[in-house]
Amino acid sequence: MKRILTREPILAANDAAARAVRERLGAAGIFAVNLIGSPGSGKTTLLEATVGVLPGVRMGIIEGDLATDRDARRLAALGVPAVQLNTGSGCHLDAAMVLGALERLPLVELELLFIENVGNLVCPAAFDLGEAAKAVVLSVAEGEDKPEKYAPTFLRAQAVVVTKADLAPHVGVDPHRLAASARAINPALVSFVVSARSGEGLDDWRGWLAAKGVE
C-alpha cells in the first residue's frame, strides 16, 4: 500500500481555473464581482439598476441559471454584453465555466464584470470564480435570521446588499438590522441597503464600485 495523495484542497482544480480567470481579468484591468443570493433575492434587478446608475462604465455580465437565457436577455436589452451559462441541474457556477464564458465577452472593452451566480445561498460560496469580491444579495422579504442560518456564505463575502428596501414596511423587517445581522457574522462586510424600485441606496453601492477603480 502506498500513499498517492497527501494534503491538498478538494477544489484544487477549481482553484487553478480561478487563478486563470483572475490573471485574464487582471491583465484586462477588469474588477469582477461574484453576486450570490437566493432565487428571487433581486440579483438581476440589482444589475439592471446598477447599469442605470453607472452609465459611463463599460460593464459585462455573466449570468448563471439552471435553465433559460431570460436574465442575459434582460441585461442585453440594456446594451450590456451578457453571456448566459446554464448549469442544467448544477447548484453553483465553477471557475471553469467562467473561464469559458470569458471567451464570449469583449474583455478589452470592459472595466467591470458581474458574475451572477445560480440562485442559492449555500453552494456557490465554496467555489472561487476568480472574482475580486463576493457580494451577497439578500432581500428584506427573506427575513432577519438568514445571515445566521447561512453563515458560511457571509463569512466568505466582502459585501452584502440588502435589496427591496421599499418592501420593508410590508414584511416587517428592518433592512438596517438585517444588514447588521450580516455584519455580526463577518465584521469586515461592507453593507448596502437598496431599493431598485425607488433608487434608495444605489448611490452608496455605486460609490463602493467606484472606489474599486471603476468609473
Partner 1 sequence: MHEASLAQAVLERIEEAATTQGAVRVVRIVLEVGELSGVVPEALELALRCLAPGTPAQGAEIVLVRSPARARCAACGERFHPSWLPCACPRCASPAAVLEAGQELLIREVEGE
Q: How far is the CB of 198 from partner 1 (least distance, A)?
A: 30
For residue 203 the three cell numbers come to 448611490
Window 21-80: residues binding partner 1 (CB under 8 A): none
> How far apart (Å, rounded) are the C-alpha atoms in residues 82 and 33?
14
Neighbours of 153 (CB within 10 A): 26
Beta carbons within 10 angstroms of residue 94's beta carbon: 21
Complete edge-to-edge strand list for the sheet that includes strand 190-193: 82-86, 59-65, 112-116, 31-37, 133-139, 159-163, 190-193
Q: Segment 151-210, which members bind partner 1 (CB under 8 A)?
A: 151-153, 155-156, 184-185, 187
- Measured from the CB atom, the residue of 9 and 56 that comes closer to partner 1 is 9
Q: In this chain, which stretch among 6-14, 27-35, 49-57, 105-113 interacts with partner 1, using CB under 8 A?
A: 6-14
Using the minimum distance from each CB to partner 1, give the nearer residue, 80 or 189.
189
For position 102 contacting partner 1 by CB under 8 A, the verdict is no
Shortest gap between Cβ of 109 and partner 1 (angstroms)? Answer: 32
Segment near partner 1 (CB under 8 A), from 3-11, 20-28, 77-85, 133-141? 3-11
List the x/- string, 128-157, binding to partner 1 by CB under 8 A. --------------------x--xxx-xx-
Spatial contact of 137 and 36, defined as CB atoms under 8 Å apart: yes
2 is a contact residue toward partner 1 (CB under 8 A): yes
**Structure-block grid coordinates of residue 99:** 473561464
Q: Residue 6 interacts with partner 1 (CB under 8 A)?
A: yes
C-beta of residue 71 within 8 angstroms of C-beta of residue 98: no
| Span interacting with partner 1, options 52-60, 69-77, 119-127, 166-174, rule CB under 8 A | 119-127
Residue 132 exposed, middle or buried by CB count within 10 Å (0-12, 13-18, 19+): middle
Using the 8-state DSSP alphabet, how is residue 16 labeled?
A: H
Would you say 67 or 184 has its CB closer to partner 1?
184
Which residue of 16, 77, 91, 108 would you call a contact of partner 1, by CB under 8 A?
91
Return the sign of the alpha-carbon dihedral for residues 45, 92, 20, 135.
positive
- Give SS3 for 192: strand
Residues that bind partner 1 (CB under 8 A): 1-14, 90-92, 94, 122-123, 125-127, 148, 151-153, 155-156, 184-185, 187
